[in-house]
């Protein structure tokens, strides 16, 4: 029997399949579960339930879209918690509400399982190249248990604090990312409405230092009208919603991020499965026929 650690992925979409490929390169074995039984390039073995996966895997990595999907895969008679042995390690890379991460850590503790909330900063290009930044919530000892996995998928691990802290830090980062894109899109909207030549405008913004490398990548996509999903609008809007909810709980005033959430809600309604940079298309459509 192989002594190579077996990592089981619950959820095996665009991000998880790329993380899995890097784990294989680092010497791990992987298996996966998805409701459809599909994902990746077809080379990964799929198991029928989260419980079956947890019974086989040495480490379970959850990478699902939202709180509801996490609850469904973790709990109940066919859930991960029902299948993991005491002493197991569960790494949740999903972006979920901080209170969800805390609740999962508590449930894991009751089963003798170490749970780390470890969402990642970066999109599919960083996942493919192994350059994600891991935002980890848990004790230092817990995080050290998962460090080999983190080193295989990312270039840096940030210990954000106790359970739930990784989820909080991820919402900070995504809130800044979403709100900044909304501001850049508004700048483009003004430029186009005022008569600036479109190509010149996008090219100029690509040169100036006030635009981050991430948002310059989105500008290039918007100029070409290519909104292939690296970070789908439905997920970005979901993250902004989680941020707004938790901010209200802590009475943290976020007026600019609240306004950006509305713009991203419109983007999700019109382009749910395209990249969240489709906000540029939404804004540009509003001024396309302006006299």
By annotation, the residues acting in catalysis are 170
In the chain, count H helices and then E strands.
14, 9
Which ranges constitute the DSSP H helices of 111-230?
124-129, 140-145, 147-153, 165-193, 198-207, 213-224
Render 207-236 in DSSP notation, one character per residue: H-TTS-HHHHHHHHHHHHT----SSBHHHH
Quick check: helix, strand or coil at residue 115?
A: strand
**Per-residue CA distances from 196 to 96, 192, 204, 226 (Å):** 41, 5, 11, 21
Nearest in space to 277 (alpha carbons), one of 268, 289, 286:
268
Bridge partners of 132? 154
> Can you read off the two tokens belonging to residue 178?
């979403």
Is the distance from CB of 20 to CB of 7 less than 8 angstroms?
yes
- Residue 5 CA to residue 145 CA, distance in Å, equals 12
Nearest in space to 95 (alpha carbons), one of 123, 64, 137:
64
């Amino acid at each position: 029997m192989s002594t190579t650690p077996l990592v089981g992925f619950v959820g095996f979409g665009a991000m998880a399949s790329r993380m899995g490929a890097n784990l294989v390169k680092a010497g791990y074995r992987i298996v996966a579960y998805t409701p459809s039984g599909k994902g990746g390039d077809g080379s990964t073995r799929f198991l029928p339930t989260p419980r079956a996966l947890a019974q086989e895997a040495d480490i379970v990595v959850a990478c699902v879209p939202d709180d509801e999907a996490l609850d469904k895969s973790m709990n109940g008679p066919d859930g991960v918690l029902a299948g993991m042995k005491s002493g197991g390690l569960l790494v949740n890379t999903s972006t979920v509400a901080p209170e969800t991460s805390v609740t999962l850590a508590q449930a894991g503790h009751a089963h003798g399982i170490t749970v780390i909330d470890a969402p990642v900063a970066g999109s599919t290009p960083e996942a493919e190249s192994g350059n994600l930044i891991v935002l980890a919530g848990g004790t230092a000892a817990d995080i050290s248990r998962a460090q080999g996995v983190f080193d295989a998928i990312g270039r840096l691990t940030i210990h954000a604090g106790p359970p739930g802290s990784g989820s909080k830090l991820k919402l900070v980062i995504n809130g800044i990312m979403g709100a900044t894109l909304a501001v850049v899109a508004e700048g483009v909207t003004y430029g186009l409405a005022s008569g600036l030549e479109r190509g010149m405008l996008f090219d100029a913004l690509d040169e100036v230092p006030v635009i981050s490398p991430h948002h310059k990548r989105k500008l290039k996509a918007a100029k070409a009208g290519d909104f292939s999903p690296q970070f789908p609008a439905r997920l970005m809007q979901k993250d902004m919603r989680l941020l707004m909810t938790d901010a209200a709980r802590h009475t943290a005033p976020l007026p600019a991020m609240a306004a950006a959430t509305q713009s991203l809600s419109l983007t999700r309604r019109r382009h749910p499965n395209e990249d969240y940079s489709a906000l540029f298309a939404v804004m540009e459509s509003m001024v396309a026929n302006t006299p």
